[in-house]
C-alpha cells in the first residue's frame, strides 16, 4: 500500500485538532515525576525543542517560557533549514530561544531541553572544533548573566509543550511569537494539562 504524503499546506485547524487530541489523550504511563517542573522561586523557565517533519523534509523549533507558577508568558516557533544532525537542531532551538529572551528583555531564565547532549555541548568548558562544538560556542558567547542562569535537561514527557509548539511551527506558514492574550486555545489546554 502506497503511503500518501501529507499536504504541505496543512492548516491551523488540522494542527489545532491534533493538539486538542494530544491534550485529551496524554502519553500513557505518565508518572508525576515526568510532568513539567517549575523553576526555582524568582526564576523563569524556557523549555525548547526541535522536531523534524519527514513529509515536508524540514526542521522546526519551538519553546515556551513560564514562571514558577506555571503561567505561560511567551511561546515561539520557527522553521529552520535542515541541520546536519538532530543535535544541531536542538542547539538551534536553544539559540532561537535565547535570542528571544534578549529581544524581549527577560532575565533569570533557566533554559531546558530534552536533549542531554545539547546541554552538555553548551555547558562544557572544553574547546570543540566540530560542527556541534562551533554551534555550541556561538550559544556560549551569546549567554550572559542575568538573562540565562543555567541549562537543564528534562525528559521528553516533561518537555512535551515545547515539542507540541515545534510540531505546530513545522506546518505554520511563518515564524511566530505569542505573548499573553495571544495564546491559541490548544496551547492553553496543553499547559493546563501539564499543571494538573
**How many residues would you count in the chain?**
196
Domains of the chain: 36-195 (3.30.420.10)
Tell me the pLDDT tens digit for each residue of 162-178. 999 998 988 887 899 99
Which one has a higher pLDDT value, 163 or 3? 163
Threshold 0.85, pTM exceeds: no
Tell me the pLDDT tens digit for each residue of 62-90. 999 999 999 999 999 998 877 677 887 88
In the chain, the N- to C-terminal Cα span, in Å, equals: 41
pLDDT at 144 > cutoff 50: yes
Mean of pLDDT values over 184-192: 92
- Judged by DSSP in three states, 194 sits in helix
Residue 39: name the closest of 69, 75, 76, 72 by CA. 69
Amino acid at each position: 500500500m502506497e503511503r500518501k504524503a501529507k499536504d504541505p499546506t496543512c492548516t491551523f485547524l488540522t494542527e489545532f485538532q491534533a493538539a486538542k487530541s494530544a491534550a485529551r489523550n496524554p502519553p500513557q504511563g505518565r508518572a508525576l515525576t515526568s510532568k513539567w517542573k517549575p523553576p526555582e522561586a524568582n526564576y523563569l523557565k524556557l523549555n525548547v525543542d526541535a522536531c523534524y517533519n519527514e513529509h515536508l523534509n524540514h526542521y522546526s523549533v519551538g519553546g515556551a517560557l513560564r514562571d514558577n507558577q506555571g503561567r505561560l508568558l511567551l511561546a515561539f516557533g520557527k522553521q529552520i533549514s535542515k541541520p546536519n544532525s538532530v543535535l544541531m537542531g536542538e542547539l538551534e532551538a536553544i539559540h532561537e530561544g535565547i535570542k528571544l529572551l534578549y529581544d524581549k528583555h527577560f532575565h533569570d531564565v533557566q533554559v531546558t531541553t530534552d536533549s542531554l547532549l545539547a546541554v552538555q555541548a553548551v555547558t562544557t568548558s572544553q574547546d570543540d572544533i566540530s560542527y556541534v562544538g562551533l554551534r555550541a560556542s556561538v550559544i556560549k558567547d551569546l549567554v550572559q548573566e542575568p538573562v540565562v542562569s543555567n541549562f537543564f535537561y528534562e525528559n521528553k514527557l516533561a518537555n512535551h509543550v515545547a515539542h507540541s509548539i515545534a510540531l505546530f511551527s513545522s506546518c505554520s506558514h511563518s515564524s511566530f511569537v505569542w505573548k499573553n492574550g495571544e495564546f491559541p486555545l490548544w496551547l492553553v489546554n496543553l499547559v493546563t494539562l501539564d499543571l494538573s
